[in-house]
């Protein structure tokens, strides 16, 4: 399916919240939400980028251009507001495009006999 076809068929449903959209890039899982909690605290960008996660193994980051998005925290929960269609970049993964809207961002976790831990990217 081409990006143009995807936008034509699914984008209107996402905007209307008819589809619970989910995205994944490496160890980062992103899920559309209807709204960001009112007690969320806006975070500062780092060097013109909004950093969603930094890799422990490589130091590479899942990032969005600051002009396109705002990051919020509620405790350890992370939320992303995309002000317009936004590309998430990472040095080792292909970019993914998020429609404008609000998202919950989570680090994927894995089980090992020693502990439950974040997936290392």
Q: Domain map of the chain by residue range?
A: 3-118
Supply the pLDDT for residue 24: 74
Q: Which of 7-11, 71-75, 84-88, 92-96 has the lowest mean pLDDT?
A: 7-11
**Secondary structure (3-state) at 85:** coil
Overall average pLDDT of the 42-53 stretch: 84
Confidence tier at 88 by pLDDT (50, 70, 90): confident
More confident residue, 64 or 2: 64
Residue with the larger pLDDT of the pair 88 and 69 = 69
**Other residues' Cβ atoms within 10 Å of the Cβ of residue 77:** 13
Structure token digits, residue 76: 């350890």
Mean pLDDT value across the chain: 76
| DSSP code, position 46 | B
Contacts of 85 (CB under 8 A, 6+ apart): 68, 97, 98, 99, 100
Mean pLDDT of 47-62: 74
């Amino acid at each position: 399916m081409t990006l143009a076809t995807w936008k034509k068929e699914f984008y209107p449903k996402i905007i209307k919240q008819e589809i619970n959209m989910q995205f994944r890039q490496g160890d980062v899982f992103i899920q559309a939400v209807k709204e960001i909690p009112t007690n969320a605290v806006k975070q500062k960008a780092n060097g013109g980028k909004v950093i969603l996660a930094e890799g422990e193994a490589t130091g590479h980051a899942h990032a969005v251009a600051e002009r396109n998005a705002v990051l919020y925290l509620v405790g350890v929960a992370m939320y992303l507001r995309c002000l317009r269609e936004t590309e998430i970049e990472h040095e080792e993964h292909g970019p993914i495009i998020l429609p404008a809207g609000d998202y919950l961002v989570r680090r994927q976790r894995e089980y090992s006999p020693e502990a439950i831990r974040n997936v290392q990217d």
